[in-house]
Structure 1
Amino acid sequence: MRILILGSGIIGVTSAWYLAKAGHEVTVIDRQDAPALETSFANAGQISPGYSAPWAAPGVPIKAIKWLLQDLAPLRVTPQLDTFQWQWMAHMLANCTHKAYAINKARMLRVAEYSRDCFIQLRQDTGIAYDNEAKGLIQLFRTQKQLDASAKDIKVLEACNVRYERLNVAEILRHEPGLQAAKDNLVGGLRLPGDETGDCFKFTQTLAESCEALGVQFLFNTAVDGLVQDGDAITGVRTGTETLHADRVLVALGSFSRHLLKPLGFNLPIYPVKGYSLTMPVADATHTPTSTVMDETYKIALTRLGDRIRVGGTAELSGYNTHLPENRKANINHVVQDLFPGGGDLQQAEYWTGLRPMTPDGTPIIGPTRLRNLFLNTGHGTLGWTMSLGSAKLVADLMTGRRPEIDPSGLDIARYQRGHKRETLRWSHEVK
């Protein structure tokens, strides 16, 4: 089959890999001049199945008010003259129930755990290197209230058979000795030993080269202007003066998927949530993370990537604005200096901002649509890197008629349609 993939970020390139491996003729289209130059460029670096959880959770509405009032706020909302922003926030708040949280987290874990297995297999098959490590993630709690609240997450982890370890401060320091200077500010942690780290940009660019070796064609500097629909199918993809044709079309445009599909009557609930990161060289290896730590208070992750430290996080609802204000730099600067003082050279830090494509329930949108040859792989929020290979393998199987290795229920766009029945937590990720 001839397949067009729209978008060459981590989601588009991993999808191209699996479809090309299955023997199909694949073309990837992107407006940039190389892969992974937008959201996939400088994320937090964590491949964190165990930390996969929706932002919409019980207690979040009250927490959000407190966050907005903090000087170093992990959340900021800039009101827009856009009704979709308010609709999206209302839909997110509607998911802040115990029942919805359990279902949404289980869905996300299903994809993320599968994706982690796909990473292991891909490394065995190709030997791909991307500053990758498999040393786990530690969620750091600064208050007893945070530590107590983690019991709810642990119940979902247990239901989904995800390994975890409760840690006291001394145990945290055994895994992350670089936190010695911050020990008095910590009360405990939750370690997820199955989580990994790596450079998403390096991975995507390397895998794109492997895709080309399989015959995948990349059309860079090519904007997708629209889709041509005829009846129940897409008959063309408009790019400037040219219209391209294929048997299947996969939309992997992240935050921009909504704009492309809206003229066709699709209402994708994907909002561009802006995040920030800095990357700096290691100055003192004894004061750096060995893997990834997640600061629960500030919602910021710190990851060791070879001879660099990546610090990423915060969330801003401000539309498609990618401006990087100085006060947002202060947020991530504070956390890295507080936890790992002197570990990195902040004078040489490179700052970046990107738009994460977030759904209100946290789960990506993966699978078919009402148009028989149009498929989606988008809306991964902060977990595109974590879920990338699993999402790609799943959608490749669905596009080519192969039986998926995991249950796809609840992952496609149908869950946003009226009358859709939610699945329960009794789903097992061992389904084949």
Structure 2
Amino acid sequence: MKVLILGSGVVGVTSAYYLARQGHEVTVVDRQPSPAMETSYGNAGQVSFGFSSPWAAPGIPQKAVKWMFQEHAPLKIQPRMDPTMARFMLRMFGNCNAERYAVNKERMVRIAEHSRACIDALRADTGIRYEDRQKGLLQLFRHESQVEAVAKDMQVLEQCGVRHDLLDAEAIKSVEPALARVPGKFVGGLHLPDDQTGDCHLFTNRLADYCREQLGVSFRFNVEIQRLKRGGSGIESVVTSAGELTADAYVVCLGSYSPFLVKDLDIRLPIYPVKGYSLTVPVVDDGGAPQSTVMDETFKVAISRFDDRIRVGGTAELASYDLSLLEKRRATIGMVVRDVFPKAGMWPRRNSGRGCGR
């Protein structure tokens, strides 16, 4: 079967890998000059199966209002007259209760555990490396209330067979020795030893190379995807800047832009963009740097170790499709990483960062 994949981010390229392995003739199309140049470019680097958790959680609506007035809030909502944003938020807030959270959390963890098996098998099959580490994730708590709140999440992890350990302030140093340099900042942490880290951009590009060289996948870059052309029994073609492209099946992997493409098919995808920020710096003090990945639960900022680099990612901003970066938001991730690992990298005083829509 001839398959056309729209989008060459991590989802598009991994889709190409699995379809090509099944014997299909696969072509990937993207408007960018190379793979993983948008959402997959600079994300936090966490491959966090056990940490999978819905943002729609009890108390989030009230916290969202409070965060609007905080300097270093984990979530910012830029109010605007946007019906799509309003519908998305209503759906999200409708899931912010204990019953829905428990159901959604359990579903996410189950599919994440399947993903763990898939990525381990993919790595074994292809041999690709992407500055990956299999050293776990440490969720850090600054307040005792956070330790108490994680108890329900631990019940889900237990039910799904996910290894985890609740650690006190002393024990977290055995997982991340550099935390001994910042005593008194954290009261404990949740350790997920089977979680991983890796550079998503590097992973996607090396997998794309493998797909091209070993599986015969074709890539067409610098091609603008404009619309889907309907036929009598479905999609007739994809209209692009390079002409109309046809296939037996089409896979849409365009992230938050997917709803625009499929709306003419009377498909309404409940997807809305969330802008994140990240920065990447070289390690200058290995002893003061993270060995894997940590998540500061208070600020929702992730700090991940690659080979000789540190990736910091976090803060979520609901601002429609605005790609501009706000200095105040970039300052938050810089503040957190300097607080947790002050000597690990050459942290910029004025942060340089990159938005990462989800």
What range is the shorter-chain TM-score in? over 0.9
Distance 2:84 2:156 in 1: 31
| Distance 1:161-1:314 versus aligned 2 partners, 3 A rule | same
Distance 1:39 1:210 in 2: 21
Matches of residues 237-386 of structure 1 in structure 2 within 5 Å?
237-240=238-241, 242-347=243-348, 350-356=352-358
The secondary structure found in structure 2 opposite 1:37 is coil
Q: CA deviation at 1:183?
A: 2.8
Distance 2:162 2:263 in 1: 37
Structure 1 stretch displaced more, 9-18 or 257-266: 257-266
- The CA deviation at 1:68 is 2.2
- Contact 1:288-1:343 within 8 A present in 2 as well: yes
- TM-score, length basis structure 2: 0.97
- What's the CA shift for 1:124? 1.6
Q: Which amino acid aligns with 1:209?
A: D
Question: Is contact 2:33–2:221 with CA below 8 Å preserved after alignment?
Answer: yes
Could you say which residue in structure 2 is the equivalent of 1:34?
34
Shift of 1:103: 1.6
Mapped to 2, the partners of 1:308 and 1:115 lie a distance apart of 25
- Structure 2: how far apart are the matches of 1:128 and 1:302? 23
Segment of structure 1 superposing worse, 186-195 or 119-128: 119-128
Q: Residue by residue, what CA displacement relative to the aligned partner does 1:351-380 show, whole Å, maximum 9, x if unpaired?
A: 211211xxxxxxxxxxxxxxxxxxxxxxxx
TM-score by length of 1: 0.81
Task: Answer with 113-122 or 28-37: which moved more.
Answer: 113-122
Matching of residue 86 in structure 1 with residue 83 in structure 2: no
The one-letter amino acid of 1:316's match is E
One-letter amino acid of the counterpart of residue 203, structure 1:
F
Q: Which runs of 5+ in 2 are unaligned?
A: none
Partner of 2:111: 111
Alignment of 1:173-252 (within 5 A): 173-213=173-213, 214-240=215-241, 242-252=243-253
Mapping of residues 31-70 of structure 1, within 5 Å:
31-70=31-70
Which residue number corresponds to residue 361 of structure 1? none
Aligned residues: 356
- Percent of aligned positions that are identical: 53
The reply on whether 1:128 has 2:128 as its aligned counterpart is yes
Q: How far does residue 113 in structure 1 lie from its aligned partner after superposition?
A: 1.1
CA deviation profile, 1:271-315 (whole Å, cap 9, x unmatched): 000000000011111111100000000000000111000000110
Deviations 1:195-225 (A, max 9, x none): 0001111110000011111111111000111
Shift of 1:81: 2.2
Who is 1:75 aligned against? 75
Q: Which runs of 5+ in 1 are unaligned?
A: 357-432
Distance apart, 1:241 and its partner CA: 5.6
SS of the residue 1:170 aligns to: coil
Kept after mapping to 2: 8 A contact 1:280/1:350: no
User: How far is the alpha carbon of 1:66 from its aligned partner?
Assistant: 2.5
Other-structure match for 1:171? 171
C-alpha distance in structure 1 between counterparts of 2:244 and 2:170, whole Å: 61
Conservation of the 8 A alpha-carbon contact between 1:45 and 1:198: yes
Q: Deviations over 1:146-181 (max 9, x none)?
A: 110001111111121111101011110011011123
Secondary structure (helix, strand or coil) at the match of 1:20 reads helix
Give the secondary-structure state (helix, strand or coil) at the position aligned to 2:356.
strand
Contact (CA 8 Å) 1:132, 1:305: kept in 2 or not? yes
Please give the alpha-carbon distance, in whole angstroms, between the structure 1 residues aligned to 2:66 and 2:187. Answer: 21
CA contact (8 A) 2:334 2:348 kept: no
Cα distance in 1 for partners of 2:352, 2:60 equals 31
Contact 2:136 2:195 in 1 (8 A): yes
Contact 2:274–2:317 (8 Å) recurs in 1: yes
User: What do you get for the CA RMSD once the two structures are aligned?
Assistant: 1.3
Letter in 2 for 1:183: P
Question: How far apart, CA to CA, are the structure 2 residues paired with 1:347 and 1:157?
Answer: 37
Partner of 2:260: helix, strand, or coil?
A: helix
The alpha carbon displacement at 1:246 in A equals 0.7
Q: Is the 8 A contact 2:49 2:116 kept in 1?
A: yes
Judge conservation of contact 2:224–2:242 (CA < 8 Å) in 1.
no
- For 2:140 and 2:185, how far apart are their aligned partners in 1? 10
